Amino acid sequence: MEAQNINNYKKRFSSINTSNQSFKQVISKIIKFINEAPEYHYKLSIGSDSQSRMNKSLLVTAIHVHRIGKGAIGFITNQKINRNFNSLREKIYRETIATLELANMFTAEVMQALLTPFITSIKGDINFEFHLDIGKKGATRSLISEMISIVKATPFKPTIKPDSYTASAYANKHTKGNYKAPKLEFKRSKHN
């Protein structure tokens, strides 16, 4: 893996058991998780969600690795913004850009490291998805083509609601249920 690029991502990640993890540590844990059972199909998805209250916003970006039929692991990072978003378009744009920043950390070297466990596996494989918190129903439908065009510059497949669970459920869970204004502290859920 290209250490320089991995170390340039300064945000820290939390998971159910650990906090204050670097991107490099997260990738190592994902590779370990895959190596435990490389014969399975995996879906690695990234996505963001945000919540604004009392002139403050919390933007959560997540990495979710689903071992289809056999569990999952996830990691989150957050960004505190000292204002509300001015519009739904700005909110979705900020979420998409935060996820795009994370997607850019998945360099060719990182992707190769994630694919390596499957070289000797006959059955296993992995798909990469970029989950957008938008869908064909509701106010966000007008933003679909614009946001998908942004994602197409990454190695991730763009995914929208109802299939974009990393943004619309996993990251969402960490913006709404644990959000306390006006202090704006991030607290990990006891379930994740």
Q: Are the CB atoms for 102 and 171 separated by under 8 Å?
A: no
In-domain check, residue 80? yes
Q: Look up the pTM and report it.
A: 0.87
pLDDT of residue 1: 38
How confident is the model over 15-65, as pLDDT tens digits? 999 999 999 999 999 999 999 999 999 999 999 999 998 999 999 999 999
In-domain check, residue 51? yes
In-domain check, residue 161? yes
The sign of the dihedral angle between the CA atoms of 130, 133, 138, 142 is: negative
**Looking at the 3D structure of the chain, how many domains does it have?**
1
Q: Are the CB atoms for 53 and 181 separated by under 8 Å?
A: yes
In-domain check, residue 12? yes
How confident is the model over 121-151, as pLDDT tens digits? 889 999 999 999 999 999 999 999 999 999 9
In-domain check, residue 107? yes
Q: b or e along 21-32 (b: 16 or more beta carbons within 10 Å of the residue's beta carbon)?
A: bebbbbbebbbe
How confident is the model over 157-188, as pLDDT tens digits? 999 999 999 999 999 999 985 544 333 343 44
Q: Which two tokens stand for residue 3?
A: 């250490």
Expressed as residue numbers, the domain containing 78 is: 3-176
In-domain check, residue 191? no
Give the list of residues 6+ apart from residue 119 with CB closer than 8 angstroms, or none.
Answer: none
